[in-house]
Chains A and B, each alone.
Chain A
Amino acid sequence: MGMSTFPPDISTTGYLVDRLFWLATLLTGVAFLLVVAALGYFLLRYRARPGRKAFYTHGESRGALWMTGGLAILVFFLIDVNLAYHDHHAWDAVWGSPPRAADALRVQIMPEQFAWNIRYAGPDGIFRTSDDVTTINQLHVPVNRPVIVQLSSKDVIHSFFLPNLRIKMDAVPGMVTSLYFQTTHPGTYDIACAEHCGFGHYRMRGFLIVEESEKAFEGWFTEQAGEGPPDLSWGWNWDLPAAPQQAGQMETTQTGHTP
């Protein structure tokens, strides 16, 4: 669990994001306190008094230039480069090491104003076939299993946001984008839309239901499969994500980066 600043972390990688925040807060906090201390000291110490002139310097001596330039470079390496280095490694874990598709649960999501259309491939492992399972706003995943999500959009840009997993990715019409995650705690969590998508943006809420076991997930899946035929109006080939198709839509040909 993260500190109370963040919503509870239920992912294998979320702690990296939280840790990055605390490191950045520590480093920039020190810099900020130094600036405020200098500001406060100067204001108290160097207030105008009768009979005293300010120290006449243009601050362009070699010494002054070395000092400001040197301090700036120091700040750059101690704070900026340091943080960028940590971020670089966090990125590799959160975004750069996708699980093998064979080991993961694969989901396609194509939101529209203002709902999340969700699709699982059926036993054939192929998307947009009649054995698929489709739901609206309910994303069920088993705990502790990697999940890969491919996103596109039916209308405008939406953004698939999982606050408890510290990740989000835009769903862009005409493109397929993706993200992956692995949960650690069963329960029901919020899915939010983070990109303004119209007047119903605020209520474009979905639910991430983390099932407590693979078995519970299988049970839910079988039950859904029996609910009736899936929505076949959208979906795309997982491995060659030509742009998502709507029935009757000409094929378009853009892809996002895919893991």
Chain B
Amino acid sequence: MTTTHPTARTYLVIYGWLIGLTILEVGVVLAGWPQGAIVTILIATALAKALLIALYFMHLKFDRPLVWLLPGIPVVLGIVFVLALFPDVVFHLVQRM
């Protein structure tokens, strides 16, 4: 069992951050920022939001580090797997152009 639990106030603060980041996301898109900036910002904010939810709402921050292995392994594998597909389905196009 988890030993410490976040308080309702913690949950609300995290929720505030999530809402704020979402508004930021929609804002930069609607404001029509350059594509490169949008991609960078959105990936960063999406990762930040996912981490906030995992750490606080899913209590990973309060679990033993060994529990992190469970979601950690597939996340790492998934990223490696997708990157391994790049040479075949993405890069040959770049070579041509």
Contacts and interface: CB of A to CB of B under 8 A. Distances in A.
Nearest to A242: B96
A246 interface: no
B93 A253 contact: yes
A43 interface: no
B96 to A, nearest CB: 5
Chain A contact residues: helix, strand, loop or mixed: loop
B9 interface: no
A169 to B, nearest CB: 15
A2 to B, nearest CB: 33
A25 interface: no
A135 to B, nearest CB: 29
B16 to A, nearest CB: 45
- Residue of B93, B95, B96 contacting most chain A CB atoms (<10 Å): B96
Interface in A152-172: none
B97 to A, nearest CB: 8
B91 to A, nearest CB: 10
A254 interface: yes
B5 interface: no
Interface of B: 92-93, 95-96
Given A255-B95, A255-B96, 4 more contacts: A240-B96, A253-B93, A254-B92, A255-B93
